Amino acid sequence: MSEQAFISIQNVDKYFGKFQAIDDVSIDIGHGEFFSLLGSSGCGKTTLLRMLAGFENPTNGEIYIDGQPMSSVPPHRRPVNMVFQSYAIFPHLNVRDNIAYGLRKQKLSKAKRYEMVDEMLNLIALPEYGDRKANELSGGQRQRIALARALILKPKVLLLDEPLGALDKQLREQMQLELRALQRQVGITFVFVTHDQEEALTLSDRIAVMSEGRVLQLDTPSGLYERPRSREVASFIGTMNFFEAKVREAKGPDLVVEAEGLGTVRGNSGERHFAEGDTVQVAIRPEKFQLSEAKPNGGDPANAVQGRVGNAAYLGERSHFFVEVAGGGKPIAVSAQNKGVKSSSDDTAEDVWLSWTDDSVVVLATD
Ligand SMILES: Nc1ncnc2c1ncn2[C@@H]1O[C@H](COP(=O)(O)OP(=O)(O)OP(=O)(O)O)[C@@H](O)[C@H]1O
Ligand SMILES: [Mg+2]
């Protein structure tokens, strides 16, 4: 276990009968980190969270929290608390009694309990709501009560399983900001489950992208976005253009490739090295392209292609459109800052040059 790891998941497998839901997962999570598990439905997020909480045990491997192996520690003795997607707050109890619910087994005076509840009500910005019945609250307010009920027990780790899943987009975005601010304020470790990549990118210090029980990539939000290490991760996070390509020159990670539809492209393959003649994929995000009327890059033929704009959509600050390149190939998705007022119809059927920098090119192995 690395020294700073507060939670250490080590080579964990989980089988349900013959079905393997978790496949050799190792993750270290730091103290006070906002850590997210991101992946599509059925990839094993809830299963991993339930093993942290102690509701399931790993078939193989070990989970450590705060340096202690958890295999023989029952759920109620673990320094964690879980907020479920269907946050079961009690409709017949008022807000105060809902928040205080977990304290009932602790021998505390009524005054002390009230003091702690008031502190929580302030924290979740609902100071006046203590006497309100839980069924007289909005979805977002209920969500905050569920959080307060978990936080009042002062867990060292809060496990959140799609806690914002039931909320509409606007409330969801508001709650995301509040959740992040709350986590910073209380400084406890959050393990947050979501299948929404935007939500994970907005909230997290680091993210584990999962698929079929495995971790595909564990990285910071910008690391996942700028340096995806596989096509699966690259296409799961945001929009990405992919081009088949062949390596023409390789000097360590520095490559010159010939890409279908793009021509000569310079790029860097990071830790992964390729050799001359290898088939690779070149990936470029839509917003990494610069548009110009004149031939760009001082005439340097690499990292530039000429095309024709079609299907423009004007969306406030940015335009999203496809550029059809000469010589066929699939249209390239481009997203550009709108300079001045220009309607979408002005953009159509315009000849443009697309250019890009070396460091906006991601080079991936072919699947
Ligand atoms: N108790 C169980 N018995 C058998 N199979 C299970 C059990 N719990 C989960 N699974 C299976 O394990 C896999 C992972 O399930 P899990 O609930 O962890 O997915 P998830 O990533 O949380 O998905 P979602 O986003 O839909 O909530 C699924 O294929 C699921 O059917
Ligand atoms: Mg789940």
Both 146 and 287 in a single domain?
Answer: no
Alpha carbon distance 119, 99 (integer Å): 11
Domain harbouring 41, CATH code: 3.40.50.300
Both 218 and 275 in a single domain?
Answer: no
Q: Which of 234, 262, 295 is the last residue of a domain?
A: 234
Domain harbouring 323, CATH code: 2.40.50.100
Q: Which domain holds residue 355?
A: 239-365
Both 56 and 162 in a single domain?
Answer: yes
Alpha carbon distance 354, 24 (integer Å): 43
Angle at 289 between CA 288 and CA 293, to 5 degrees: 155
CA of 143 from ligand 1 middle (Å) equals 24
Give the count of domains, the chain. 2
CA of 42 from ligand 1 middle (Å) equals 5
Both 281 and 306 in a single domain?
Answer: yes
Side-chain-side CA neighbours of residue 219 (13 Å) = 17
Both 152 and 285 in a single domain?
Answer: no
For residue 193, the ligand 1 atom closest to its alpha carbon is 22
Both 153 and 84 in a single domain?
Answer: yes
Q: Whose CA is nearest to atom 31 of ligand 1?
A: 42
> Which of 47, 56, 162, 197 most suits a substitution to test ligand 1, by most atoms within 8 Å of the C-beta?
47
Both 202 and 248 in a single domain?
Answer: no
**Tokens, residue 239:** 């929009």
Both 153 and 85 in a single domain?
Answer: yes
Closest CA to 181 of 153, 154, 159, 203: 203
List the pLDDT tens digit at each of the 367 positions of the chain. Answer: 555 799 999 999 999 999 999 999 999 999 999 999 999 999 999 999 999 999 999 999 999 999 999 999 999 999 999 887 666 788 889 999 999 998 988 889 999 999 999 999 988 888 999 999 988 888 778 888 988 898 888 889 999 998 887 777 887 888 888 889 889 888 899 999 998 999 999 999 999 999 999 999 999 999 999 999 999 999 999 899 999 999 999 999 999 999 999 999 999 998 889 999 999 999 999 999 998 888 888 878 899 999 988 766 666 677 888 899 877 778 999 998 875 444 445 544 578 899 999 999 999 998 7
Q: Which of 234, 250, 285 is the last residue of a domain?
A: 234
Both 17 and 120 in a single domain?
Answer: yes
Place of tokens 């993210």: 207
Both 181 and 243 in a single domain?
Answer: no
CA of 211 from ligand 2 middle (Å) equals 13
Query: For ligand 1, which residues put their CB under 6 angstroms from it?
Result: 16, 19, 21, 39, 41-47, 195
Q: Whose CA is nearest to atom 22 of ligand 1?
A: 46
Strands of the chain (E only): list them: 5-16, 19-30, 34-38, 60-65, 68-69, 80-83, 157-161, 189-194, 206-211, 214-219, 241-251, 254-259, 263-268, 279-284, 290-292, 304-315, 318-325, 332-337, 351-355, 362-365
**CB atoms inside a 10 Å sphere around CB 207:** 26
Both 283 and 331 in a single domain?
Answer: yes
CA of 120 from ligand 2 middle (Å) equals 27
Under 8 Å between Cβ of 319 and 348: no
Q: Which of 199, 234, 269 is the last residue of a domain?
A: 234
Q: Whose CA is nearest to atom 5 of ligand 1?
A: 16
Alpha carbon distance 232, 239 (integer Å): 12
Q: Whose CA is nearest to atom 28 of ligand 1?
A: 42
CA of 41 from ligand 2 middle (Å) equals 7
For residue 40, the ligand 1 atom closest to its alpha carbon is 25
Three-state secondary-structure class, residue 278: coil
Both 212 and 268 in a single domain?
Answer: no
Alpha carbon distance 115, 117 (integer Å): 6
Alpha carbon distance 199, 196 (integer Å): 5
**Tokens, residue 210:** 């999962």
